[in-house]
Amino acid sequence: MIASNTYTRTEFIDKYGAFIHKTVKGSGILAGTLISQAILESSGKDENGEWKVGGSKLSREANNFFGIKAKNWSGKTYNIDTGEVIKGKKVIVNADFRAYNSVKDSIEDYVKFLKENSRYSNVLKAKTVSEQAKELKKAGYATSLTYADTVTQIYNSVKSSVDASYLKFKKRENIKNVSIVIVILGTIIGTFIYYKRQK
């Protein structure tokens, strides 16, 4: 595993936004939901004492940006104490979490995790970040009583950056599609000219 860097919210979205939009495409998961959860689940104080995305020990040392535990997991794990709310009381418990080689691996596994667990089916049907956050809480993704509200608040604070990252993603996709068309046309024209000369 390679320890991840830390980011401001804007830096995180700038770096991973396009990849996130590509990864969630067709999954039912909204990029805004994923980004807001990553910010919430991975934030902590970095080595300089600044509160950053990716600053938590779990994200820095295991590239786990979503707090996904190692249940039903055959990959690498990372053991750490974590805060939970049990019967209305905040407690510290020890747990094994999934560990990844990169932040991108964590993002991809988050999408896979939600898609493959039937208890999150209503999350995939929800149409807004706020609705998805509520369904995540209902399905038991987190024990915090304010989890859904916090995810929504984070999204509202970064919505303009999420929207900007989507425009960048679409621009890259359009450029890629145009390039593919040019290559195909070039091949067709080249083939046509070749056979024309053979006559």
Structure confidence by residue, pLDDT tens digits, 20-40: 999 999 999 999 999 999 999
Q: Residue 186 domain-assigned? A: no
% residues pLDDT > 70 (the chain): 84
For the cut 80, the answer to whether the pLDDT of residue 41 exceeds it is yes
3-state SS, the chain, equals CCCCCCECHHHHHHHHHHHHHHHHCCCCCCHHHHHHHHHHHHCEECCCCCEEECCCHHHHHHCCCCCCECCCCCCCEEEEEEEEEECCEEEEEEEEEECCCCHHHHHHHHHHHHHHCHHHHHHHHCCCHHHHHHHHHHCCCCCCCCHHHHHHHHHHHHHHHHHHHHHHHHHHHHHHHHHHHHHHHHHHHHHHHHHHHHC
Q: Residue 185 domain-assigned? A: no
Structure confidence by residue, pLDDT tens digits, 133-173: 999 999 999 989 999 999 999 999 999 999 999 888 787 76
Domain count, the chain: 1
Q: Residue 182 domain-assigned? A: no
- The pTM assigned to this predicted structure is 0.81
Structure confidence by residue, pLDDT tens digits, 57-114: 999 999 999 999 999 899 999 999 887 777 777 888 889 999 999 999 999 999 999 9
pLDDT of residue 90: 80
pLDDT of residue 188: 65
pLDDT of residue 91: 83
pLDDT of residue 25: 95
For the cut 90, the answer to whether the pLDDT of residue 47 exceeds it is no
Q: Residue 175 domain-assigned? A: no
Give yes or no for a contact between 138 and 147, defined as CB atoms under 8 angstroms apart. Answer: no
pLDDT of residue 186: 61
Q: Residue 91 domain-assigned? A: yes
Q: Residue 2 domain-assigned? A: no
Both tokens of 123, joined, read: 């999350």
pLDDT of residue 107: 98
Q: Residue 44 domain-assigned? A: yes
Side-chain-side CA neighbours of residue 84 (13 Å): 14
User: CATH no. for residue 139?
Assistant: 1.10.530.10
Q: Residue 192 domain-assigned? A: no
Average pLDDT, the chain: 88
Confidence of residue 50 (pLDDT cuts 50, 70, 90): confident
- Least Cα distance to 12 among 55, 47, 71 occurs for 55
Structural domain boundaries, residue 147? 9-166
- Give the mean pLDDT of 35-55: 92
